A and B are shown apart, each in its own frame.
Chain A
Amino acid sequence: MGWVSQLWQGTYVSAEGAWALIALGAFALLFIVLTARAIAYGPFATRPLAAADRLRSAFARATETGEEVQVALGSGALGTAATPDTLAGLYLVSYLARRAALADVPVRVRVGDATALAGALAALQHGAAATGYPEAFDPAQAEFVAPLPFAYGLGVAEAMRRTPPVANAMAGAWGPEALLPIATGIAQGTPQMGGTSDPAALSLFFGTVEAPLVGEELYAMGAALGEGRHTGSLATQDVFRALIALGVLLGAILALIGRLA
């Protein structure tokens, strides 16, 4: 066990690091408890998301018209800081893949990164297999457009012009290049929904797409589309958000008192 004590003695953690670890530990604990509760006793109540409703109605329309539903995941990769945004987009893909296999509706997933392509292919394949229609999976449903963000945005816009989709869902790591397919969708009158976590790029979604996903709504799409256990993590976020808001308010009051004194 000498190496254990050596390991312990050689370890250094700063004060900020220690506080961050404690906060992370508390978050993880609450997360596990609330998620277990959501699994055992049913999901927590959540407010409906306009984007989720739009997606459902677009899919219903696609079952009648046979037009494709497009999901564009942005240029983010899995395994980088863009992973949460890309995963949020993959929840959409997984949701659509199951239903598309049953109803024989074409779904087209367009990605700007090869790791996201692997995730999309897996989501489509598993979605088809889970519904008992593995033959419904077609590798060409997922398309790697281009690795550079603006080339990817242009490629998605061009694909929409070539084959207008019944709806365009843009959820993932997007930058200013998002405006290229959005502008195409506006000109075509295509219903659009989506969002990203970058505030600068998010401002482009607001006001241009019918149902934007603002901030952490992007990460709540899983819960809005029926994944009940996701509501546990949403509840955890709500608790910590309330604590942060209280802390900010308290700090502001104390600063005001200090300034007045």
Chain B
Amino acid sequence: MIFCPGCGTANREGSRFCNECGMRLVQEASLPCPRCGTLNPPGTAHCQKCGLGLARAGDQEAAQPAQPAPAASQPEEASDAALRDEGLPPWLDAAESAGDEELRREALEDLASLEGEAPVDRLRTGGWSPEAIPIEPIVGVPYRAYERLPLPPTPEQEQAAQLFATVAAQAVQAEPRQVPEPKPQVGLGAGPRRVLNLALLLALLVPILWPLAPLQVAPPVPAAVVDAVGAIDALPPGVPVLVAFDYGPALAGDLQPVAEAYLQQLIGHGLRVLAVSTQPEGAPLADMAIDRVLAAHPEARYGQSVVNLGYVAGDEAAVRALSMNVPSAAPADYRTGAPSTTARALEGVGGAHELPLIVVVARDLPALRRWIEQTATPYGTPLVAGLPAAAGLAAEPYRASGQLRGVVAGVAGAAAYQGVQSGRSQAPRGLAALRLGAWVLAAAVVAANLWALAGWVRKRGAA
């Protein structure tokens, strides 16, 4: 084991980097192997990679290449230098010491005295057998390669050598075939994934292209939506309301209907709408929503009933600046470029915290929270929100505590909102697509679990 000098972790022999802290385990002052170039710790007798005998510490001359041991040499006659030059693996070298050498000689002498014949002599007479191998003394000094005499090969060894010669004689492939390692399958396989994606795509497309009336039943109206409608209905006509478009095109499918539903009610009630955004991509979305709503309300005029103040940079800083003073935080009209103070919709407006209501259509809870933290909580400004369906649940604590007066979440929320306003009982086609998609997803989950259960039952049956 090699112990890391940095953290002390035990690492496998031969590791070059610590598995715990990554520190290099081989020190700078190292012994380079002249054969393979591996850096070995100082004082190493044999190269840790190829086993070549290295010079002792302090002796920087290159080691001699390993030599095979003389065939007839006796263990007793092998010198220390010959031992090293055999190129033994380091664990053998580490296992040995001067005392071990002495023990080996004594053990062999004992064997010879017991049998009446030196084990080496018995080997010379042929008839190789396991008993001829010198028995290791109890100290456990390992058997070493140089003690084995060159014996005629067995038939098995000859066969193996012939096979090796055949293989070695074959032409080497310039680019061996890469066999990709199969990765363990964690998720769905490619086939089932494609089937699921196709089913989901059809479930979302079909109701949009061909209206399916049973799926267009209006959903029950959540209390949060009723509260949002009520908060706007309670305002007298002509008062200014700030509407924040804090989302981007990615979530426009979910949130643009919510924003338009709010704008329809605000403009329909004769309120003045100040559209603003703390996301750079929100201002054009506000413009698109305003155009659609003004087309449905010809009595309303841009600049009088509604004005788009554009993007205000800074996230929380932007909300804080708007809370302090809207005209100075948003000095220009996004659509015309004229100073925002010239817009009639902005007449008499100071800080956003003084307004009777702020509507925030936000892409996620953190984007909504900055309005809650900077205006609703410190000043008590009434706030209603529009959120994606997934984030609507996360906003419940704020609604339960009164920091939010109402929440409209996703396409379903927008459909419920429009249903409350207009009294219609039929939901838009998008909702039908959502429903069918949800059912397909539920079916896929159940099918996957049943498949897994069937597999488990099969395995249990086989076992």
Contact = CB atoms under 8 A, between A and B. Distances in A.
Interface in A119-151: 148-150
B201 to A, nearest CB: 16
A59 B364 contact: no
B187 to A, nearest CB: 4
Interface string B384-425: 000010110110000000000000000000000000000000
Nearest to B22: A103
A225 B51 CA distance: 39
B313 to A, nearest CB: 11
A245 to B, nearest CB: 16
B287 interface: no
B390 A176 contact: yes
Counting contact residues on chain B (CB < 8 A from A), the size range is: 20 to 34
A21 to B, nearest CB: 13
Contacts, number: 77
B445 to A, nearest CB: 12
- Identify whether the interface residues of A are mostly helix, strand, loop, or mixed: helix
A173 B364 CA distance: 11
Interface in A1-45: 14, 17
- Minimum-distance CB pairs A-B, first 3: A103-B22, A186-B187, A150-B250
Contacts of B373: 81
B393 A99 contact: no
Nearest to B248: A148
Contacts of B366: 81-82, 173, 197-198
B233 to A, nearest CB: 29
Nearest to B279: A148
Interface in A78-121: 80-82, 99-100, 102-103, 105
Given A99-B22, A105-B22, A187-B187, 13 more contacts: A60-B20, A63-B19, A81-B366, A100-B22, A102-B24, A149-B363, A183-B187, A189-B183, A189-B186, A197-B366, A198-B365, A198-B366, A201-B364
19 contacts: A63-B19, A81-B370, A82-B366, A102-B24, A103-B18, A103-B23, A103-B24, A105-B22, A148-B250, A173-B366, A176-B364, A176-B390, A189-B183, A189-B184, A189-B187, A197-B366, A198-B394, A200-B394, A201-B364
Counting contact residues on chain A (CB < 8 A from B), the size range is: 20 to 34
Nearest to A154: B250
Nearest to B379: A14
Contacts of A17: 378
A63 B390 contact: no
Contacts of B178: none
A67 to B, nearest CB: 13
A76 to B, nearest CB: 9
Contact of B21 (A99, A148, A175, A183): A99
A196 to B, nearest CB: 9
Contacts of A150: 248, 250
A77 interface: yes
Interface in A138-193: 148-150, 173, 175-177, 183, 186-189
